[in-house]
Structure 1
C-alpha cells in the first residue's frame, strides 16, 4: 500500500488524518477533492469553476497513482445544492469521454469548508482501460 500526493493538491490539514490518494495493488482510491484553499474556494461561489478544480485535483492524483482518468471506475459527487448538478455535469463532461465511470451524485447539507459547493471522490484500477481493450 502506498500513499500518493501531488504538489498541486493541498495536503490534509493534519498529517496522519487521511491520505489524498492510496494505491493498493492495482486499485487506487482518491479522497474527496474540492476547490478549497486557505483564501477560499477556487472559483469563489461559482460551482462550475469549483467542480473544474475538484476534477483537476482528482485527475492529477489519479495520474500520480500511475493511472489514467479513463481508469476511474466509480465516482461519488457531493453537492450542497442539487440545482448545481448541471454545472457540475458540464465540468464532468470536460474530463470523461467514451466509457463513463459508474457515478453517484447526492445533495448534502454542507462540505468540510464554508463556501464549497461540490466534492468529488474516485476509485478505479490502474490500467483498467488497457485490460478492457485486450
Structure 2
C-alpha cells in the first residue's frame, strides 16, 4: 500500500530522515507523538503545566489531521504519555476543548521521562479520515 506524508506549519517536521509527523495510508492517518516543543524553536518548550502543553499538542494534532483532509472527530485513537499522571485532569480539561460527542479510544501511560525534563506529555493519534462510522 502506498502512503502520503502530511505536513502542517503547526507541527514542523523533524530533521530529514528522522520520522514523519503524519503518514496517511488509505483512509487512515497515523500521527506521531507530538510534544509542546515550540514550532519556531524545537529546543524551546511552550507551556508551564499539563493543561497548557496539552492545548498546544492538541492544536498540532488538529493541524495535521486537517492537513490530511479530516477533522478532530475523525480521530479514533489517542495514546497519551505523561510524566506526572496525578495531573491528568489538566489533560482531560484540554481534551474537552478539542473533542466532543464520542471521544476517541484512549490510553494514558505514565513514563519516567520524555525528551526534555520540562515536557510533561506526548500524544500520538490515529484518524479514520471520512468519519468514524463503518
- Given the alignment, which residue of 102, 105, 111 partners 1:102? 105
Q: How does 1:3-42 map to 2 (within 5 A)?
A: 3-12=5-14, 14-37=15-38, 38=41, 40-42=44-46
The equivalent residue for 1:50 is: 53
Could you tell me how far apart the structure 1 residues matched to 2:84 and 2:114 are? Answer: 11
* Count of equivalent residues: 129
Q: How does 1:55-74 map to 2 (within 5 A)?
A: 55-74=58-77
Could you tell me how far apart the structure 1 residues matched to 2:24 and 2:109 are? Answer: 26
RMSD (Å) for aligned C-alpha atoms: 1.3
TM-score by length of 1: 0.91
What SS is found at the alignment partner of 1:94? helix
TM-score by length of 2: 0.91
Q: Per-residue deviation at 1:99?
A: 1.0
Gaps spanning 5+ residues in structure 2: where? none
What SS is found at the alignment partner of 1:30? strand
Runs of 4+ in structure 1 displaced over 6 angstroms? none
Q: Per-residue deviation at 1:5?
A: 0.7
The equivalent residue for 2:85 is: 82
Could you tell me how far apart the structure 2 residues matched to 1:124 and 1:46 are? Answer: 26
What SS is found at the alignment partner of 1:128? coil
**Contact 1:40–1:115 under 8 Å retained in 2:** no
